[in-house]
Amino acid sequence: MASDFVKDRLLELFGDNKFLCAESVVQVIAEAGGRESRDAVRAATGFCSGLSRTCGQCGAVSGAVMGIGLYAGRSKAGEDHEACYALVQELLDRFDGQYGSINCFELIQCDFTDPDDKARYRRDNLRRDCYRMAVFAAETALSILREHGYLPDEAGRDKSGLAS
């Protein structure tokens, strides 16, 4: 179940077209652990809209993968990467189990290079579906990070949702 912090913050970031899927998800994950998010958000831009409108991986999934990397990824050459890979694989399994795919086009049947699909995306408010997937991706990544000791559990967070 998604926390109010995740739902509210994603609605604030993603709901009014301020940021896109991957940008919003990585920012929420960074903020939840008290990390600086500006560079991560910038790095996430190309992952939005199904990997820059190529009908590729869902941007919410990409943002969640990046978010996991903020905590479990390597910061020095030669460090072990297996723990991060395992967490990412767990995220992908959970997301695919929930939605049946991790691919943007398969999830919303929208090719962002096609003007008719772009119009249908707006007309049918498919952004609402993307928001729901972004909430699931962010909350799942945060849950996995908590389960594996990279972030404090819910009891260790203050009312703002930030790690204490």
Per-residue pLDDT tens for 101-135?
A: 999 999 999 999 999 999 999 999 999 999 999 99
Q: Is residue 81 part of a domain?
A: yes
Supply the pLDDT for residue 2: 60
Supply the pLDDT for residue 3: 84
Question: Which residues touch 29 (CB under 8 Å, ≥6 apart)?
Answer: 63, 64, 66, 67, 68, 70, 138, 141, 142, 145
The answer to whether 162 and 154 are in contact (CB under 8 A) is no
Q: Is residue 163 part of a domain?
A: no
Q: Is residue 11 part of a domain?
A: yes
Q: Is residue 98 part of a domain?
A: yes
Q: Is residue 62 part of a domain?
A: yes
Q: Is residue 164 part of a domain?
A: no
Q: Is residue 161 part of a domain?
A: no
When the pLDDT of each residue in the chain is averaged and rounded to a whole number, the result is: 92
Q: List the one residue out of 100, 89, 98 whose CA is nearest residue 64.
A: 89
Number of domains forming the structure of the chain: 1
Burial of 62 from C-beta contacts in 10 A (0-12 / 13-18 / 19+)? buried
pTM for this predicted structure: 0.91
Residue with the bigger pLDDT between 159 and 41: it is: 41
Q: Is residue 162 part of a domain?
A: no
Residue 160 has pLDDT above 50, yes or no: no
Q: Which domain holds residue 74?
A: 4-156
